[in-house]
Structure 1
Amino acid sequence: MESGKSMFRLLRLLLPILAPLCALVAAPAAQAERVKDLGTFQGVRPNQLTGYGIVVGLAGTGDDSIEYATQGMKGVVSRFGLTLPQGVNPALKNAAAVLVTADLPAFAKPGQRLDVTVSALGKAKSLRGGTLILTPLRGADNEIYGMAQGNLAVGGLGVSGADGSQVSVNIPSAGRIPGGATVERAVATGFDTAPTLTFNLAEADLTTALRVADGVNHAFGDRRARAMDAVSIAIDAAPGAEDRIMMMGMIENIEISPADAPAKVIVNARTGTVVINGAVKIHPAAVAHGKLTVSVNESPRISQPAPFSQGQTAVEQSTSISIDEQKKPMINFKGGASLADIVKAVNAIGASPADMVAILEALKQAGAMKAELVVL
């Protein structure tokens, strides 16, 4: 055990030297990225907290007499030994029922401060000037992990007149309390007792997972890391939080070259936006793009009979039909055409975003574009 700790301390001292060497072994420096930018260790993540509370001190912009706001206020005053008479529901124009949300970071310890977001739950018009009363924050297991309280900072503004006219700037029914919550309980991650550490990639890719495992093995000079699937890399680790934290810090600073993204064409049909990544290649194909315009013009003419004749004034219809076909040259894509070639060719024929979508779909159907076509 002592020899293992000594090895980790030695590796920590050599980290500034090892990291550049790992970058040279695993990938070209120009394309290298740190492992910490590609994913996270399993269990080292934030947790969402939620609470139900009451905001008081509003200038007549609260929930009025909504039942769940009244119940919340009864719960608040009961903490101070006060009991409202049976059947009495106070008008709460200066109070509002709210939901409080916060993120509990990994390794957060009791006493640390958290920022919280407060959002009106009912028909409160504005939370400006309000104060959140002490509110417990619960996790997914329904246990209390924090307590929130404080004055709200509201960036929105809402004004209404007696005739029903209203003016709103931003969202006045939501606000934040910087450092408004205190951590009351730490979340056990279990990373210091599990037999292995698991690093999960943010995006699934078999090649990247293998490169991360190879980078870790090159850094430590053994075979402690292995790719389990396209996302997870299992890493053998010595017991004890100190040694594991040291090893995790070293792994996060290893630089590798992620795998190239698969060929994709992203199309937003609503806005006409088309995004083509650099991996898209075009096989030999010819594209002809044209536009046909048909114009129909109605020009009624008045037919007036001669004076003192028996004829009647009549309306004579006159229709003019014209056809305009814009002839565009046929484009010949040679094999291996790149993104720049595609953009240059499509711009040359004056294609709009909608026309470009039609061209890309046709190339996909013809088998000339080996890329995933994603329509948003």
Structure 2
Amino acid sequence: MTHPQSSRTSCRFAAIALGIACLFASPVHAERLKELATIQGVRDNPLIGYGLMVGLDGTGDQTMQTPFTTQSLNNMLQQLGITIPQGVNMQLKNVAAVMVTATLPSFARPGQAIDVTVSSMGNAKSLRGGTLLMTPLKGADGAVYAIAQGNMVVGGAGASANGSKVQINQLSSGRIPAGAIVERTVESTVGGEGALTVELTRSDFGTAQRAVEAINRQFGFGTADAVDARVIQVRAPQSPQERVGFLARLESLEVTPTQAVARVVINARTGSVVMNQAVRVSECAVAHGSLSVVINTEPVVSQPEPFSRGRTVESAVSQISVNQAGGALQMVRGSASLADVIKGLNALGANPQDLVSILQAMKTAGALRAELEII
């Protein structure tokens, strides 16, 4: 028979253990709806234009190799009333043909200034200190939405002499803060006919359902309905003045998203490996060895003997060595935290490039419980 005192003690210990488990459990963080979703119709629009950069210190395009720069300069001078005689070969080193790009923000109005990015199109050595001439920026429909002009800021520096060259950062591109003036607006229809569409940045049925519950709890039952895992239909006020306040309150709602899908992202070009908190690893054994090939080439000069009328011959002798490092069988323990996963993979002593191959093999073997995404 169980003693009452020992039963109460066991219950007390169980309650303490449960409290400690809740204390150290990972907290669930709520995020604002504006971090999880966007309003359909509220979007930016890319702009592009072709122009000329002048005032360069002899670092512009070589006009013999970039004929479009000379043609653009002739067209511009003709529009200004200056005619260049035929047959004149202009060797200008202070002019460069550039591409100008910008982003037209949503609800932008004529007269608003936006930043532009200028990039060399020819073989200019540097755009440092240049001035962009008036360049129309067009949208996807071919209409002009902004006009760009101004002095460019380049964050790099460089110098060259006698075949030697030193360069810091990029000299063939830069930005012009507030370098374009908006000339035409893009009409954005938000909440037309009393309804608007909220689109989640990541398709997830659980997050969509929680967002619908949060909206209905704030604005009343029936305000929002989930169409699918990404789209949510919301009934908005008819009046534009009330709609602005409604959207402000809607974006500020706090929604607790569901746990992200376990994913490992691999950059095949740089060897970077990034994994999220949901990645899990089952217990497995991994052996990995590296193979290195070293080629050492040394020049060898053969001199003929005196009075032999021979010629001096120069050749090369190459020595090739192949080294293969043995990979011992390492045990990767099954883990339920990202820190343990990283600790187990680091025990293999592999570099990032080798880690890509190991993760792919672990995924094939079923030991890596995550999605592999290669970018």
Shorter-chain TM band: 0.7 to 0.9
Secondary structure (helix, strand or coil) at the match of 1:245 reads: helix
TM-score, normalization by structure 1: 0.73
Structure 1 residue 91, shift from structure 2 partner: 2.3
- Choose from 55, 58, 61 the match for 2:53: 55
Residue 353 (structure 1) aligned to one of 350, 353, 357:
350
Question: In the alignment, what sits opposite 2:79?
Answer: 79
**Residues 273-306 of structure 1: per-residue CA shift (max 9 Å, x gap):** 55443323456x5x3455789xxxxxxxxxxxxx
Deviation at 1:216, TM superposition (A): 1.1
State the TM-score, normalized to the length of structure 2: 0.73
| Cα offset, 1:70, TM superposition | 1.5
33, 36, 39: which one pairs with 1:38?
Answer: 36
Structure 2 residue 180 is the aligned partner of structure 1 residue 186: no
Structure 1 residue 346 displacement after superposition:
5.2
1:45–1:105 Cα contact (<8 Å) kept: yes
**Partner secondary structure for residue 31 of structure 1:** coil
Which secondary structure does the structure 2 equivalent of 1:128 belong to? coil
Paired position in structure 1 for 2:155? 155
Letter of the 2:38 partner, please give it: T
Matches within 5 A, 1:313-324: none
CA-to-aligned-CA distance 1:304-356 (integer Å, 9 cap, x gap): xxxxxxxxxxxxxxxxxxxx9887675664xx844455445556xx3223676
CA 1:201/1:89 → structure 2, altered by over 3 Å: closer, same or farther?
Answer: farther
**One-letter identity of the residue aligned with 2:166:** V
- Residue 269 to residue 170, structure 1, CA distance change in 2 (3 Å): closer
Counterpart check, 1:167 vs 2:166: yes
Shift, 1:43, TM fit:
1.5
Does structure 2 conserve the Cα–Cα contact (< 8 Å) formed by 1:266 and 1:375?
A: yes
Aligned to 1:206: 205
- 1:242 corresponds to: 241
How far is the alpha carbon of 1:261 from its aligned partner? 0.6
CA displacement at 1:107 relative to structure 2: 0.7
Q: What is the one-letter code of the residue matched to 1:241?
A: P
SS at match of 2:43: coil
Alignment gaps of 5+ in structure 2: 1-25, 291-324
The aligned residue for residue 6 of structure 2 is none
Q: Where does residue 125 of structure 2 map in the other structure?
A: 125
Percent of matched pairs sharing the same residue: 47
Equivalent position SS for 2:111: coil
Cα distance 1:234–1:53, how it changes in 2: closer, same or farther (>3 A)?
Answer: same
Residue of structure 1 equivalent to 2:106: 106
Aligned length: 314
The one of the two structures with greater contact order (alpha-carbon pairs below 8 A, sep at least 6) is: 1
Instruction: Pick closer, same or farther for the CA change 1:370–1:75 going to 2, 3 Å.
Output: same
Report the Cα distance in structure 1 between the residues aligned to 2:368 and 2:357, rounded to whole angstroms.
Answer: 13
Pairing 1:228–2:217 present: no
The whole-number CA distance in structure 2 between the counterparts of 1:371 and 1:352 is 22
Provide the alpha-carbon RMSD of the alignment.
Answer: 3.2
Q: Is 1:196–2:195 an aligned residue pair?
A: yes
